[in-house]
């Protein structure tokens, strides 16, 4: 029994020791980190220790619970008689009710997903104090954004203890338990113990006095806020400025410096920067941020500003910057950001901004504290500055907040300053400055003494250590140099620099600008220096001179650099400034278009461009106007001219399209065959498990078309598998041949239909005409086919082999000759195709090797190609109506029948030929002669185009249907014509808007070609992108030095990669379709009116639109990329355009004034 007792007290000792340890840990964290995060691990471990104490010796029977040692049940039990417990119990139940899966009755289980807890606790905390709305909303949004993460696994642990701690009611509850221990605890339990029980409750007094934060901490720095939240925060901060986003400080700086004298401009712009940044900082102060540490924050602190009758509640915060300590107070009205009726209150808000306090602690000498005698009745702090002026009194609500504020202030002053007399370090203070009894223990129980005297007013002096040191004078110079805001220097530099930087005399004028400051400083120093020795004086003056000269030369170099950059940038804009539009003008409206476009002839190009540049084009006119903008139609052309031009274009387009369609057919066929093989291989692999031999067969059959992956296995062993393949393919052939027979002619109407949408060619007639020569053409081929009925692979390149492999099996010879019939006389008509068909010896030899005798057997059936084309076509009903006729004709032709029997050779011919003849053009039948290199290259391109077209703007109404095929046609035609360039990702995005506007393939194609003349340089093959980046750099340097500093300080030149997509696609992905149209036409017009590099200014405008957000969050490369990717399609295009135009104008003015 004695032993048991000893063990018991030993255990209790350990329990209480662990609580002590955790409390100490937590308090230390509170002091060193200046805040304690709710999810800090020390909170959890403290709760754990408390839980252990409370569950020791708990009389479960009394609670009606036998198995669990739930302290939560205990809480609910005592809720009836203890008001604090009742409150917490309610909260716990709320949380559990909102998420039934989280049963906190098993309180020691660990739970995930904290959002419920976080949300409700934040609500409950703010209900009591009626927190400033933005504080709670900001923290709520943070907790929401963070909730997806798993960072607070443990926060459901010890739920009720945790809540009680946050709510500062834990002590009371434990006190209650201790005083009623007999009904809940065994006699020898810790809580029932007369000593330990009270120790436990008193230990927890300290933690209960702490304010816990849910704010973002350094540890969670990477849980970046979403772009939305950044914009929202920015709105809150920028509600001060009623003007639009265009009023960038740096730009104002410029404008003013151009018109006013440099002195005024300098100071003026600096002020505007400063006030803007102050506004920003206020919102920043809600969060721990990179620039300043938040030492203290308290809402509903009353301050009585000047000219106001009643004290106003507001948010008081204490911030530590690198050099300084700042006290800020913001009226609640300003903390709400954009609330209801924001516009109406605009004026009021300005007034509130005047009330806001922003006090630099360096300027404060005395802190007066007033406290009334009542227990815990809050207090008033009055700050008195060096000049003896009192700042508005700050009334703290009750609850020891004044004391907390003072202690935070003292911590913040360290290590360079302190409160005199110190708050805590001396015991005697307790006598002079009285804290309410509860507070004494809460803050630092071990240090404070309990002395019961009536509280009185007290005065602290803020002492800066450096002031008392011997070499104060030197120090003050250092301080001066250090504390002179760099921005002030910069802005004064840039103003003079911008107004006239080549003027050297002005640069000397500039010099005295700084001297009044210096003089003032010197006067101050005079007094200090009197006691100093002369040697120090000399040292000081030398240093001063050095510093000033260094600053001057630095400034000079900076100006020179700027002038170089400016010269460089002058190439970006036109020298001549086009007068801006009058306010009543509305761009290119219908009426104006009719005025300009007299009798269908548009002559006044300048006026036309000017209207578009400043006002855009009315949507209905775009189809008519865009060809002019893109340079497709010439100015002064008559309606007839244009009609003719259109026809020529259409003809050309159709011709080209028929060419690549032929190749497409072959490519599709090859594709099919490859797929079939791969599938066969996989299935046979799974069937027989003899994968290797099949692969070997593939290797042989596929030749270089197959990939190298197969090369590792090279032994050919089992011919049986080859046969298997063969069988399969023959089967497929048969199937395809049947279907192919009926489908062969369909490509004709389809090609016509897609390409002649608006042309109204008599399709039926042309169809009949076309069919006949086709048949004639096929006759010689037919003869060949009869000779070689087994020949299926009429791949055109075989023709080239003819000369070399005449002695080869007859199939190649025959196929080759059959191809010659296609267009013997026309091969030389098109130089491009001619060069393509030039034989390359190496190539031939390679092909030669790839032609084993059994290859035909492995080749898949050609008709597939024709079928595939049809599925792709934008077939309409008329097409289908016609097709039976066509099929009929086919079947009547013995030649076609024969082709069907021979495995679709003729069908393949059709696929090659008919699109050409469909165009009824002499130039079209330039021969189906393609090198396999060409085939492969184009095939690869087609494949890519297909993939990207499928993915392009599927959600936009226009592309919801077969219009995607038009897109594919336009791009394929372009790529066919520019095979050296090939398809590059992004082309789809450039064609799509054109197609939406024109809804005509050939016109879109022609305009796209015009567009690509400029855009092609942006793609990886061109060098324009790097040039854009370099220009962006220079532009930012000139127009927004603050932004430039940020980018430069991050030291990552790749920064501008976030502009990559902007430039590549002319902002197509950044904006919604309607805005893309509006933006593009301005870009095109700008080339003739203001700048050939308007995209740069657009990019800059986008950047400037969000400059405050970027700057205030000091975003780095990745942040910026993420931000803009998230903001895609959510920009306000019109304001960005407007800003871009004004940026162009600014640069023009700068260059003109030079």
Partner 1 sequence: MSGRKKSLLKVIILGDSSVGKTSLMNQYVNKRFSNQYKATIGADFCTKEVVVNDRVVTMQIWDTAGQERFQSLGVAFYRGADCCVLVYDVTAPNSFKNLDSWRDEFLIQASPRDPEHFPFVVLGNKVDLDNRQVSTRRAQQWCQSKNDIPYYETSAKEGINVEMAFQVIAKNALELEAEAEVINDFPDQITLGSQNNRPGNPDNCQC
Q: Is 1027 in the site for partner 1 (CB under 8 A)?
A: no
**Closer of 153 and 506 to partner 1 (Cβ):** 153
Q: Write out the binding residues for partner 1, residues 41-70 only, by CB under 8 A.
A: none
In this structure, the chain runs to a length of 1154
CB atoms within 10 A of CB 802: 17
Q: Site for partner 1 (CB under 8 A): which residue of 643, 951, 1130, 1154? A: 951
Tell me the CA distances in angstroms from 422 to 159, 318, 325, 406, 937, one per residue in order. 38, 19, 18, 10, 81
CA 329 to CA 1009: how far, in whole Å?
Answer: 60
**Closer of 224 and 586 to partner 1 (Cβ):** 224
Strand, coil or helix: what is 1109? helix
| Contact call for residues 368 and 457 (beta carbons, < 8 A) | yes
CB of 967 to partner 1, least distance (A): 13
**Closer of 66 and 222 to partner 1 (Cβ):** 222
Q: Site for partner 1 (CB under 8 A): which residue of 524, 1021, 1114, 1153? A: 1021
| Contact call for residues 763 and 753 (beta carbons, < 8 A) | yes
Q: Write out the binding residues for partner 1, residues 1092-1151 only, by CB under 8 A.
A: 1118, 1121-1122, 1125
Return all residues near 990 (Cβ < 8 A) that are at least 6 apart: 1008, 1011, 1012, 1015, 1065, 1066, 1068
- DSSP state letter for 58: B
Q: Is 458 in the site for partner 1 (CB under 8 A)?
A: no
CA 1047 to CA 1060: how far, in whole Å?
Answer: 16
Q: Do the strands 212-213 and 36-37 form a parallel or antiparallel pair, or are they unpaired?
A: parallel
**Closer of 712 and 842 to partner 1 (Cβ):** 712
Q: Site for partner 1 (CB under 8 A): which residue of 304, 444, 478, 1149? A: 478
- Secondary structure element (H or E) that encloses residue 295, with its range: strand 293-303
**Closer of 758 and 950 to partner 1 (Cβ):** 950
Sequential DSSP letters for 159-209: HHHHHHHHTT-HHHHHHHHHHTHHHHB-TTSTTTSHHHHHHHHHHTHHHHH
| Contact call for residues 850 and 703 (beta carbons, < 8 A) | yes
- Does residue 421 have a cis bond before it (omega within 30 degrees)? yes
Q: Is 682 in the site for partner 1 (CB under 8 A)?
A: yes
b/e 369-405 (16+ beta carbons within 10 angstroms → b) = bbbeeeeeebbbbbbbeeeeeebbbbbbbebbbbbbb
CA 222 to CA 907: how far, in whole Å?
Answer: 62
Return all residues near 48 (Cβ < 8 A) that are at least 6 apart: 22, 157, 158
Q: Write out the binding residues for partner 1, residues 964-993 only, by CB under 8 A.
A: 984-986, 988-989
Q: Is 218 in the site for partner 1 (CB under 8 A)?
A: yes
Q: Is 679 in the site for partner 1 (CB under 8 A)?
A: yes
Q: Is 415 in the site for partner 1 (CB under 8 A)?
A: yes
CA 685 to CA 358: how far, in whole Å?
Answer: 77
**Closer of 595 and 679 to partner 1 (Cβ):** 679
Return all residues near 1058 (Cβ < 8 A) that are at least 6 apart: 1117, 1120, 1121, 1124
CB of 39 to partner 1, least distance (A): 11
| Contact call for residues 650 and 642 (beta carbons, < 8 A) | no
Binding mask 417-456 for partner 1 (x = CB under 8 A): ----------------------------------------
CB of 1048 to partner 1, least distance (A): 17
Q: Site for partner 1 (CB under 8 A): which residue of 175, 500, 948, 1104? A: 948
CA 594 to CA 592: how far, in whole Å?
Answer: 5
Q: Site for partner 1 (CB under 8 A): which residue of 3, 32, 101, 150? A: 150
CB of 736 to partner 1, least distance (A): 18
CA 256 to CA 271: how far, in whole Å?
Answer: 13
| Contact call for residues 459 and 367 (beta carbons, < 8 A) | yes
CB of 1108 to partner 1, least distance (A): 23
**Burial of 679 by CB count in 10 Å (0-12 exposed, 13-18 middle, 19+ buried)?**
exposed
CB of 734 to partner 1, least distance (A): 21
**Closer of 590 and 954 to partner 1 (Cβ):** 954
Binding mask 603-642 for partner 1 (x = CB under 8 A): ----------------------------------------
Q: Do the strands 458-464 and 364-370 form a parallel or antiparallel pair, or are they unpaired?
A: antiparallel
- Residue 320 β-bridge partners: 293, 325
**Closer of 602 and 1121 to partner 1 (Cβ):** 1121
Q: Is 1073 in the site for partner 1 (CB under 8 A)?
A: no
Tell me the window of 200-208, 288-296, 474-482, 488-496 that interacts with partner 1 (CB under 8 A): 474-482
Residues 867, 870, 874, CA angle at the centre, nearest 5°?
165
**Closer of 876 and 1052 to partner 1 (Cβ):** 1052
Q: Site for partner 1 (CB under 8 A): which residue of 471, 552, 558, 1073? A: 471
Return all residues near 426 (Cβ < 8 A) that are at least 6 apart: none
CA 681 to CA 724: how far, in whole Å?
Answer: 10
**Closer of 300 and 476 to partner 1 (Cβ):** 476
| Contact call for residues 443 and 209 (beta carbons, < 8 A) | yes
CB of 720 to partner 1, least distance (A): 20
CB of 707 to partner 1, least distance (A): 4
Q: Is 848 in the site for partner 1 (CB under 8 A)?
A: no
**Closer of 205 and 971 to partner 1 (Cβ):** 971
Q: Site for partner 1 (CB under 8 A): which residue of 13, 195, 219, 1074? A: 219
Q: Is 223 in the site for partner 1 (CB under 8 A)?
A: yes
CB of 878 to partner 1, least distance (A): 31
Q: Is 1044 in the site for partner 1 (CB under 8 A)?
A: no
Q: Write out the binding residues for partner 1, residues 68-87 only, by CB under 8 A.
A: none
Q: Site for partner 1 (CB under 8 A): which residue of 21, 947, 1130, 1154? A: 947
Handedness of CA 948, 949, 950, 954 (dihedral sign): positive
Tell me the window of 276-284, 312-320, 944-952, 1096-1104 that interacts with partner 1 (CB under 8 A): 944-952
| Residue written as token pair 């039926």 | 764
Q: Write out the binding residues for partner 1, residues 514-543 only, by CB under 8 A.
A: 539
Q: Site for partner 1 (CB under 8 A): which residue of 222, 309, 452, 980? A: 222
Q: Is 475 in the site for partner 1 (CB under 8 A)?
A: yes
CB of 52 to partner 1, least distance (A): 22
Q: Is 958 in the site for partner 1 (CB under 8 A)?
A: no
Q: Is 412 in the site for partner 1 (CB under 8 A)?
A: no
Tell me the window of 175-183, 282-290, 378-386, 940-948 that interacts with partner 1 (CB under 8 A): 940-948
CB of 1111 to partner 1, least distance (A): 22
The size of the interface with partner 1 (CB under 8 A), counted in residues, is 56
Tell me the window of 7-15, 85-93, 144-152, 280-288 that interacts with partner 1 (CB under 8 A): 144-152
Candidates 193, 190, 185, 192; CA nearest to 11 is: 190
Which tokens in the block code for residue 862?
């050609």
Interface residue list for partner 1 (CB under 8 A): 148-151, 153, 218-219, 222-224, 415, 466, 469, 471, 474-475, 478, 539, 675, 678-679, 682, 685, 691, 707-709, 712, 944, 947-948, 951-955, 984-986, 988-989, 1019-1021, 1054, 1057-1058, 1060-1061, 1064-1065, 1069, 1118, 1121-1122, 1125
């Amino acid at each position: 029994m004695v032993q048991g007792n000893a063990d018991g007290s030993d255990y209790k000792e350990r329990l209480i020791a662990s609580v002590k340890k955790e409390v100490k840990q937590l308090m230390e964290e509170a002091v060193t980190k200046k805040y304690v995060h709710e999810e800090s691990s020390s909170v959890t471990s403290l709760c754990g220790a408390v839980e252990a104490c409370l569950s020791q010796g708990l009389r479960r029977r009394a609670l009606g619970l036998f198995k669990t040692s739930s302290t939560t049940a205990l809480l609910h039990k005592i809720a009836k008689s203890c008001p604090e417990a009742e409150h917490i119990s309610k909260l716990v139940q709320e949380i559990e009710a909102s998420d039934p899966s989280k049963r906190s009755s098993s309180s020691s289980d660990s739970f995930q997903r904290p959002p419920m807890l976080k949300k409700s606790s934040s609500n409950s905390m703010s209900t009591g104090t009626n927190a400033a709305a933005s504080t709670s909303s900001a923290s709520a949004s943070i907790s929401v954004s963070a909730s997806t993460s798993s960072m607070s696994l443990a926060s459901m642990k010890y739920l009720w203890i945790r809540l009680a701690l946050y709510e500062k009611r834990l002590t009371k509850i434990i006190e209650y338990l201790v005083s009623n221990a007999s009904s809940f605890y065994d006699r020898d339990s810790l809580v029932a113990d007369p000593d330990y029980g009270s120790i436990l409750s008193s230990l927890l007094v300290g933690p209960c006095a702490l304010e816990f934060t849910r704010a973002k901490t350094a540890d969670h720095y990477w849980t970046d806020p979403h772009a939305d939240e950044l914009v929202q925060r920015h709105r809150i901060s920028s509600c001060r400025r009623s003007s639009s986003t265009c009023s960038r400080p740096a730009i104002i700086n410029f404008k003013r410096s151009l018109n006013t004298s440099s002195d005024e401009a300098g100071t003026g712009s600096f002020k505007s920067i400063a006030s803007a940044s102050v506004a920003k900082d206020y919102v920043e102060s809600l969060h721990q941020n990179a620039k300043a540490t938040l030492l203290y924050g308290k809402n509903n602190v009353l301050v009585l500003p000047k000219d106001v009758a009643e004290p106003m509640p507001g948010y008081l915060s204490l911030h530590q910057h690198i050099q300084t300590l700042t006290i800020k107070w913001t009226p609640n009205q300003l903390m709400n950001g954009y609330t209801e009726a924001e516009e109406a209150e605009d004026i009021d808000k300005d007034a509130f901004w005047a009330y806001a306090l922003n006090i630099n602690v360096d300027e404060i000498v005395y802190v007066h504290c007033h406290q009334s005698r009542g227990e815990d009745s809050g207090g008033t702090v009055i700050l008195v500055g060096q000049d003896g002026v009192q700042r508005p009194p700050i009334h703290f609500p009750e609850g020891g907040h004044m004391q907390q504020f003072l202690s935070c202030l003292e911590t913040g002053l360290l290590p360079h300053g302190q409160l005199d007399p110190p708050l805590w370090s001396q015991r005697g203070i307790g006598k002079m400055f009285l804290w309410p009894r509860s507070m004494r223990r809460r803050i630092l129980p071990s240090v404070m003494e309990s002395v019961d005297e009536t509280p009185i007013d007290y005065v602290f002096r803020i002492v800066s250590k450096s002031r008392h040191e011997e070499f104060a004078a030197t120090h003050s110079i250092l301080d001066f140099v250090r504390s002179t805001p760099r921005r002030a220097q910069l802005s004064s530099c840039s103003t003079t620099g911008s107004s006239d930087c080549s003027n050297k005399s002005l640069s000397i004028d500039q010099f005295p600008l700084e001297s009044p400051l210096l003089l003032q400083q010197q006067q101050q120093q005079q007094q200090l220096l009197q006691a100093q020795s002369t040697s120090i004086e000399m040292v000081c003056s030398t240093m001063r001179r050095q510093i000033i000269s260094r600053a001057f030369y630095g400034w000079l170099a900076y100006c020179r650099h700027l002038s170089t950059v400016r010269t460089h940038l002058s190439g970006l804009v036109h020298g001549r400034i086009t007068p801006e539009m009058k306010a009543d003008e509305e761009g290119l409206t219908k009426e104006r278009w009719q005025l300009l476009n007299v009798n269908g002839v548009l002559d006044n190009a300048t006026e036309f461009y000017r209207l578009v540049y400043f006002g855009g084009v009315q949507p209905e006119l775009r189809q008519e106007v865009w060809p002019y903008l893109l340079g497709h139609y010439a100015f002064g052309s008559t309606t007839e001219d244009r009609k003719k031009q259109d026809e020529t274009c259409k003809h050309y387009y159709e011709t080209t399209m028929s060419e690549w369609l032929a190749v497409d057919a072959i490519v599709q066929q090859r594709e099919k065959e490859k797929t079939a093989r791969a599938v066969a291989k996989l299935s046979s692999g799974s069937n027989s498990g003899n994968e290797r031999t099949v692969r070997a067969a593939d290797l042989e059959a596929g030749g270089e078309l197959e990939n190298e992956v197969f090369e590792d296995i090279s032994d050919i062993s089992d011919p049986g598998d080859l046969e298997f393949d063969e069988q399969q393919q023959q089967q497929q052939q048969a199937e395809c041949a049947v279907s192919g027979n009926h489908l062969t002619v369909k490509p004709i109407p389809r090609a016509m239909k897609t390409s002649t949408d608006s042309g109204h060619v008599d399709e039926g007639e042309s169809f009949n005409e076309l069919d006949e020569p086709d048949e004639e053409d096929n006759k010689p081929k037919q003869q060949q086919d009869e000779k070689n009925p087994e020949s299926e692979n009429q791949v055109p390149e075989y023709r080239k082999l003819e000369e070399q492999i005449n002695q080869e099996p007859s199939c190649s010879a025959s196929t080759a000759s059959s191809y010659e019939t296609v267009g013997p006389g026309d091969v030389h008509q098109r130089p491009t195709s001619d060069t393509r068909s030039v034989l390359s010896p190496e190539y031939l030899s390679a092909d030669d090797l790839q032609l084993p005798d059994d290859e035909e057997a492995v080749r898949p059936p050609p008709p597939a190609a024709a079928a595939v084309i049809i599925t792709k076509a934008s077939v309409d009903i008329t097409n289908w109506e016609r097709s039976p006729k066509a099929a009929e004709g086919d079947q009547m032709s013995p030649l076609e029948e024969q082709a069907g029997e021979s495995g679709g050779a003729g069908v393949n011919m059709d696929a090659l030929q008919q699109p050409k003849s469909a165009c009824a053009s002499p130039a079209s039948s330039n021969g189906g002669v393609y090198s396999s290199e060409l085939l492969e290259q184009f095939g690869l391109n087609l494949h890519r185009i297909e993939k990207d077209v499928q993915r392009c703007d599927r959600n936009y109404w226009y592309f919801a249907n077969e219009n995607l095929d038009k897109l594919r046609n336009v791009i394929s035609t372009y790529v066919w014509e520019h095979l050296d360039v090939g398809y590059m990702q992004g082309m789809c995005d450039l064609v799509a808007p054109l197609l939406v506007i024109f809804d005509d393939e050939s016109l879109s194609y022609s305009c796209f070609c015009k567009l690509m003349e400029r855009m092609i340089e942006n793609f990886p093959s061109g060098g324009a992108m790097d040039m854009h980046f370099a220009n962006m750099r220079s532009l930012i340097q000139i127009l927004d030095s603050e932004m430039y500093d940020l980018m430069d300080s991050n030291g990552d030149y790749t920064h501008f990669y976030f502009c990559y997509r902007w430039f590549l696609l002319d902002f197509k992905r950044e904006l919604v379709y309607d805005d893309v149209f509006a933006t593009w036409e301005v870009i095109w017009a700008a080339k003739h009116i203001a700048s050939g590099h308007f995209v740069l200014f657009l990019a800059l405008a986008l950047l400037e639109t969000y400059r405050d957000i970027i700057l205030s969050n000091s975003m780095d490369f990745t942040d910026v990329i993420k931000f803009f990717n998230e903001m895609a399609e959510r920009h306000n295009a019109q304001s960005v355009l407007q800003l871009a135009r004004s940026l162009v104008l600014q640069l023009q003015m700068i260059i003109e004034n030079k």
